[in-house]
Structure 1
Amino acid sequence: MSAFAFRVGLVFEWGGVQYRIEKLQPNSQVLLEQVDNGSCRLVMRSELLEAYCDTGPTGIKATVPEEVQRSHFSRPLSDLPPETQAEVRRRKHYIDVVAEQGRPSFTRGYLLPLLQQAAASIDDKKKPSVATFWRWWRRYQIDQDARALVPQSRARLQRNGQSELFEMLRDAIAEAMAMSPLANAVTVHTALERRIQAENRRRLEDDHLRAPCLRTVQRLLNDAPKYDLAMLREGKPAADRKFRTVVRSVKSSHILERVEVDHTPLDLFLVDEKTMLPLGRPIVTILIDHYSRMVLGYYIGFGQPSTAAVMSALRHAILPKKPAEPVVPGLKVVHTWNCYGRPLALILDNGLEFHGNDLESVALDLGITLQFCPKREPRFKGTVERFLRTLNYSFAHQLPGTSFARLHQRGDYDPAKHALLTLVEFRHLFEKWLLDIYGQTLHRGVNGVPMALWDEGAQRTTIELPPDLAAFQRRIGMVEERALQHYGIDLNNIRYCDSSLNRLFDIHGPGAPMRIVFDPDDVGEIQVWGPQDLEPVTVRATLFEEYTGLTLVQAGLVHDKIKEKGLAAHDRDAVRQAKIDLAEGMQQLLGSRKQRDRRRHAELRGLSATRRNKGTSFGDSSSPAHGPSLAPPARPSKRPKLRLVEGPAVETTEPSKLLPRFTIKSERLDP
């Protein structure tokens, strides 16, 4: 480490001003010269020592010369390789031998005997030349620090006038990484040689560049900034995530202040209730409270993430919960799900289902703030991201039919063959795990039990609900704008018209813009707001009996079938026949050997956790409007019987390692 001494010529910073020691007086006074304007100041040495011990802004800070900043090795010498440390001691030995003779004269006649004497004392077969020793001496005398003698082989290319090689090397690294993220030093060296050869063909023979060896390229790659290499290999977003610095996480002071939303495919295969054939992996939408880490609501379906799924999950989160249908024998959910209320802010990513007028309009009506994370930055809603991982790893992976998170984890395990849970059974098991295991286990992120934190927060927070349940059901849904016509309103190829439109027609007249809100899970009726109206009116479809209970996807397929036959969309018989044709097609999908066809069947039926409770699904015989049942004849079920085996409670403080308190065993039933 370099020494700090009050000597003539020393430059230091004192109170934000740079001074140079001009003269040291015998009476302990020091004459200082201000560097920027040349003014002089006379101070006592004791005052300087007192300022040196001050670590605040008024203390003395040493100024490192610019040449030292460029070439000085600032780490401890013990961090260097042994051979480099030995070289530093060798150079320091020569300097000490010459310094013992007083101030040297840099001539060959004076220095050669001293260098030979120093080389003989350590048995050095290769003593330095006078010019080399002079460079060592000059660098060491800057601040009397042995680290100035560290070999500067890393700057050798620049000293040799080949700094353009660094530019070519950067281009070669980028070229190699663009071809393959796993490019190594050999690939980079080959690309660099190719670039040097192309450059030398444009130069004179005396001005050719010499390519560095492979070992030099390897050393330069090892010394290159790891962030730059990661950016070339994985892209800038991935490099930013990998090298980010987390100062502190987001804090929330009460429940419902911050609710995070996201989707994920479950690592689990579910089966159809009728045929017991695997339908595929469902998509779950989760709303979780950031303060308590308790789940507010969810939606499970087989369709892709959509605004309709978000609306259904938001509706489930705001309203008080009803317990799931107990379909697994012997499995009882002990704790009640008392999480409900209007959130103050929803934290969303930039998925298409979160952008648009639908969610924004509903949030405006309910007084909810929408906050969008930066693109490709899931860490801004890390609570829901971490919960979705816990949901898959700690729950879904423990159930029969799990697909695991990675393909290589399956081995010979076939999730489609081992799947035996239906959607309603899964929902029952999920709420059991959520309320009795996850909600009652210590969460390290908040250092508390999620359910207990919610109950504590509910005592000091006023939970708000919509003023009227019916009005809330009418206000939450997909939002569109249509013009009022004399025949009613056309929306999604369905005509809506009944006597409730008379008042709007009399007040606003034909062509007036109307705000439409509809439920994508049931297109039988819509809510219509006239200009400046405070409340909507409910308008039914002209073919209400045919369209009620149909989802938006099903209604679109019905219209496509009618269009194929060239029939009128308002023809009741045509709509009924189209539904029958689609039911036949869906039965074919259901019996298909291809899993994607069966998954498509589940999507067309509108199979989801919320619609299962309504008891409606397209093609079921339970609804007369759907026409006759086209299901195959009943046959003995080969489905394994579920049997619940109670086990001891698992004591753990890490949510990612939670295990269910129950296991599912299967037993084959004889036909």
Structure 2
Amino acid sequence: MSTFTLTIGLVIRDGQRTWRLDRTLDDSRNVFLDLESGAPKTISTAELQRDLLAGRLLVVQEHPVALSKQAESATQLVQTVEDLPEKEQRRLKYRMGIVKHMLRRGIRKGMRSLIRIELAKLPAQTVSELAEAETTSAAQVPTASTVMDWMRKFDRSGGNPLSLLSGNCFRRASGRLHPLVLEIARRKVRDHYCTRKRPSASATKLVIDRELSVQADRGRIDAAEAAISISTLRRVIHEVSPFERCVARYGPAYARNKWRYSLGGIDAPRALARYEIDHTILDIVVVHDVTGMPMGRPTITVVVDGYSGYIAGFFISFWSASLASALSAFKIAISPKYFLTEHAELRHRWLAFGIPDLIVVDNGLEFHSRHFHAAAWHLATDVLHCAVRQPWLKPTVERTIGEINGYLPAAGRVEKPLNNYLPEQPEKHACITFGALCMGVLKAVVDVHPFEVSERRLDRAYDLYGEGLATQLAPRLASSFNELDIIMASAKTLTVGNEGVVKDYLRYNSPELQALRRRVGLTFRTEVKFNPENLHHVWVHDPLQKSWLHVPSCQAEYTEGLSAVQHRAIRASKKKELTLRNAAETLTRGRLELIDMWGGAIRSGKRVKSNFLKAAEGFTSTSTLGAASRKPESADAATPLIPVTKAELMALPNEMETYAFE
């Protein structure tokens, strides 16, 4: 499968004419120019992909353009002068005063003699003020070497005043605990406190005290120092980071859920950069469009753009969460929606179309299957699986599914279980048909949800997605869905013979299939794939070329748009109709009568065989049936039968031909 983008340089072929994309208009129309005559031709994006999928158009040349993204620099910690203690602020003020004084005089860091002369010229009042800021002892002027070191640090840091701080500014005071006591406390915190048993600090202190008493008895520590307070133990415990303590005491899953965080949201810088897919069972019971019988709760598969929150596609069925429903929703998401919405009563266009750069999914079996990844490979897109039990990694689709359930009507709605409350059964008051549900969800997806104002960002999904399409490169579209149809189709091993492939009493055959049969064998078994939604054709696996052959149905009028469910329902209805007509009893009675008739005919035929051999030469079905249908006028008018003997049937010698053999 190849993809293409609506950019300058796209060349398509229509029959024997070749067209090149010249420009794209604002209303999703594209102007193509004939390469030979330069004649313009306008075609919409939806019509373009429809004709490409139908095979009426062919992509001859494309020029894909790749996007690049600059790496962001890592954020560093920032420290200000206001965070310093008051004593360090006074000391910094003193050193900055000396350095700035030298710089104002035009003296640089290597001019030792000039620095020494300038320090001697400092007024006594200035020296006293600077010294007071530095220390409370007698006023002392720093040496030239000290000032040169300050100026060197200040210049190397690019003028950062914090470079003049003393190394003792952030020095931590040493502890007064005995090293063995501190070692035992840290070991017990690691081996006893930070465990899944989750003992308290007081219980850990008892264990530490017992170990210290043992060490004191052995003489490794004095009895006076063999003690630790509960506050000191808590300080030792807090040396371990809170997250690591949470992991050790409660497990990594609990720690991840408790300490999870969000920075700038999901990594979706633009529209079509990230699509999120998920399934859910709708909170409503629907009824059949014809019979009105409750059908149950359908499953919806939703595809949402992560950047804008715009719904790109959805698929409602009773298939539950499966590969077919996921790929069906994704096919709708990447295709233009004009032919899906042209007959619906909608006020706005469904903007979403195009292949995204990334597909974000959960850990369902259908998303881990090789078939889903093969579909992503054909579309040249990536697949990202969220971590287990972390649905917040794809928050856009999770929030959207909840909003779609909120748009559903009250009739047939499933209620949440509550204490001391028995909800009514939704099957009793369900009255929304499946067709009405699909149209209602389509209305909510196109005209309601995109215009919900986000309270956090104060914007709308419709505006974000529309602006994204207007400011970025043209979306990529699929030139064929054959690969996806084969991947998502149901497979079954069947026999290929002279009548082709027979599946559920439907016959599929073509000259190409018979040519394959002549190359492989008279009859052979191979894998056959069919789409349960459309039984108009099947895909037959070629065991020699390792490819798939498209085989149409031999009953095209019947299978056009026919699904497997409809086919089974039609056969069940026909069987019921035949049962009501007593078809089985009628057939059995007819077969028995035919057997009796043949038996009687055989017995009477043996009696007249010898006498009627010659007369039988003139018997035909036409004359026999015609004579049986004609009633004789009278018994005398009937032609009498003339018996024939065996001698009359014998051929004369001169009538027999002779043959000579060499």
Q: Structure 1 length as normaliser, TM-score?
A: 0.50
The alignment status of 1:369 with 2:385, answered yes or no, reads no
Given that 1:515 and 1:529 are in contact with CA atoms closer than 8 Å, whether structure 2 keeps it comes out as yes
Query: Distance in 2 between the 1:455 and 1:200 partners?
Result: 74
The alignment status of 1:395 with 2:407, answered yes or no, reads yes
Match of 1:356 among 369, 391, 396: 369
1:201-222 per-position Cα deviation (integer Å, ceiling 9, x unaligned): 9996777997967777677667
Aligned runs of 1:264-413 on 2, under 5 Å? 264-266=280-282, 268-273=283-288, 279=296, 282-319=298-335, 320=337, 322-323=340-341, 333-365=346-378, 367-373=379-385, 375-376=387-388, 378-392=391-405, 394-395=406-407, 401-404=413-416, 412=421
What's the secondary structure of 1:61's corresponding residue? Answer: helix
Unaligned runs of 5+ in 1: 8-18, 31-40, 73-154, 327-331, 552-615, 631-671
Match of 2:185 among 139, 158, 165: 165
Match of 1:436 among 439, 447, 468: 447
Query: Distance in 1 between the 2:332 and 2:213 partners?
Result: 70
Query: Distance in 1 between the 2:173 and 2:220 partners?
Result: 28
Query: Distance in 2 between the 1:348 and 1:70 partners?
Result: 49
Name the CA shift for 1:325/1:25 in 2 (closer, same or farther; >3 Å).
closer
Which residue identity is paired with 1:352? L
Given that 1:529 and 1:536 are in contact with CA atoms closer than 8 Å, whether structure 2 keeps it comes out as yes
Given that 1:478 and 1:520 are in contact with CA atoms closer than 8 Å, whether structure 2 keeps it comes out as yes
Query: Distance in 2 between the 1:203 and 1:302 partners?
Result: 74
What's the secondary structure of 2:315's corresponding residue? Answer: strand
Name the CA shift for 1:430/1:509 in 2 (closer, same or farther; >3 Å).
same
Match of 1:526 among 538, 555, 564: 538
Given that 2:509 and 2:551 are in contact with CA atoms closer than 8 Å, whether structure 1 keeps it comes out as no
Query: Distance in 2 between the 1:324 and 1:411 partners?
Result: 48
Name the CA shift for 1:323/1:223 in 2 (closer, same or farther; >3 Å).
same
Name the CA shift for 1:534/1:451 in 2 (closer, same or farther; >3 Å).
farther
What's the secondary structure of 1:262's corresponding residue? Answer: strand
What's the secondary structure of 2:538's corresponding residue? Answer: strand
What's the secondary structure of 2:387's corresponding residue? Answer: coil
Given that 1:284 and 1:299 are in contact with CA atoms closer than 8 Å, whether structure 2 keeps it comes out as yes
What's the secondary structure of 2:539's corresponding residue? Answer: strand
Given that 1:343 and 1:368 are in contact with CA atoms closer than 8 Å, whether structure 2 keeps it comes out as no
Query: Distance in 2 between the 1:284 and 1:480 partners?
Result: 24
Instruction: Please provide the CA RMSD for this pair.
Output: 5.6
Query: Distance in 1 between the 2:376 and 2:354 partners?
Result: 14
Aligned runs of 1:590-609 on 2, under 5 Å? none
Name the CA shift for 1:184/1:162 in 2 (closer, same or farther; >3 Å).
closer
Match of 1:414 among 423, 436, 441: 423
Query: Distance in 2 between the 1:433 and 1:223 partners?
Result: 54
Query: Distance in 2 between the 1:369 and 1:308 partners?
Result: 18
Query: Distance in 2 between the 1:215 and 1:42 partners?
Result: 48
1:627-649 per-position Cα deviation (integer Å, ceiling 9, x unaligned): 4399xxxxxxxxxxxxxxxxxxx
Instruction: Show the counterpart of 2:246.
Output: 230
Which residue identity is paired with 2:163? K
Name the CA shift for 1:202/1:456 in 2 (closer, same or farther; >3 Å).
closer
Query: Distance in 2 between the 1:617 and 1:157 partners?
Result: 83
What's the secondary structure of 1:371's corresponding residue? Answer: strand
1:270 is displaced (CA, Å) by 1.9
Query: Distance in 1 between the 2:144 and 2:514 partners?
Result: 97
1:175-234 per-position Cα deviation (integer Å, ceiling 9, x unaligned): 3xx35xxx673xx64477479769989996777997967777677667753212432465
1:458 is displaced (CA, Å) by 4.8
Query: Distance in 2 between the 1:220 and 1:496 partners?
Result: 79
Which residue identity is paired with 2:439? H
Given that 1:484 and 1:505 are in contact with CA atoms closer than 8 Å, whether structure 2 keeps it comes out as no
Unaligned runs of 5+ in 2: 1-84, 96-108, 121-142, 579-662
1:69-124 per-position Cα deviation (integer Å, ceiling 9, x unaligned): 4438xxxxxxxxxxxxxxxxxxxxxxxxxxxxxxxxxxxxxxxxxxxxxxxxxxxx
Query: Distance in 2 between the 1:494 and 1:196 partners?
Result: 84
Match of 1:506 among 518, 534, 539: 518
Which residue identity is paired with 1:369? T
Match of 1:258 among 274, 291, 296: 274
Instruction: Show the counterpart of 1:650.
Output: none
Query: Distance in 2 between the 1:432 and 1:535 partners?
Result: 38
| Percent of matched pairs sharing the same residue | 17
Instruction: Show the counterpart of 1:243.
Output: 259
1:324 is displaced (CA, Å) by 11
Aligned runs of 1:410-559 on 2, under 5 Å? 412=421, 414=423, 416-417=425-426, 420=430, 421=432, 423-443=434-454, 448-458=459-469, 462-463=474-475, 465-467=477-479, 471=482, 474-475=485-486, 477-478=488-489, 498-499=509-510, 500-507=512-519, 517-519=529-531, 521=533, 526-528=538-540, 530=542, 536-538=549-551
1:296 is displaced (CA, Å) by 1.4
Of stretches 489-498 and 291-300 in structure 1, the one that deviates more from structure 2 is 489-498
Query: Distance in 2 between the 1:64 and 1:511 partners?
Result: 92
Query: Distance in 1 between the 2:574 and 2:213 partners?
Result: 79
Given that 2:300 and 2:317 are in contact with CA atoms closer than 8 Å, whether structure 1 keeps it comes out as yes
Given that 2:279 and 2:301 are in contact with CA atoms closer than 8 Å, whether structure 1 keeps it comes out as yes
Given that 1:259 and 1:347 are in contact with CA atoms closer than 8 Å, whether structure 2 keeps it comes out as yes
Query: Distance in 1 between the 2:429 and 2:193 partners?
Result: 48
Instruction: Show the counterpart of 1:48.
Output: 150
1:252 is displaced (CA, Å) by 5.1
1:369 is displaced (CA, Å) by 0.7
Which residue identity is paired with 2:440? L
1:300-334 per-position Cα deviation (integer Å, ceiling 9, x unaligned): 345542212212212332342525998xxxxx654
1:455 is displaced (CA, Å) by 4.0
Name the CA shift for 1:42/1:437 in 2 (closer, same or farther; >3 Å).
same
1:353 is displaced (CA, Å) by 1.0
1:287 is displaced (CA, Å) by 0.8
Which residue identity is paired with 1:387? T
1:150-192 per-position Cα deviation (integer Å, ceiling 9, x unaligned): xxxxx676656243233223333343xx35xxx673xx64477
Which residue identity is paired with 2:576? P
Query: Distance in 2 between the 1:222 and 1:485 partners?
Result: 74
Query: Distance in 2 between the 1:396 and 1:42 partners?
Result: 82
Query: Distance in 1 between the 2:456 and 2:189 partners?
Result: 45
What's the secondary structure of 1:309's corresponding residue? Answer: helix
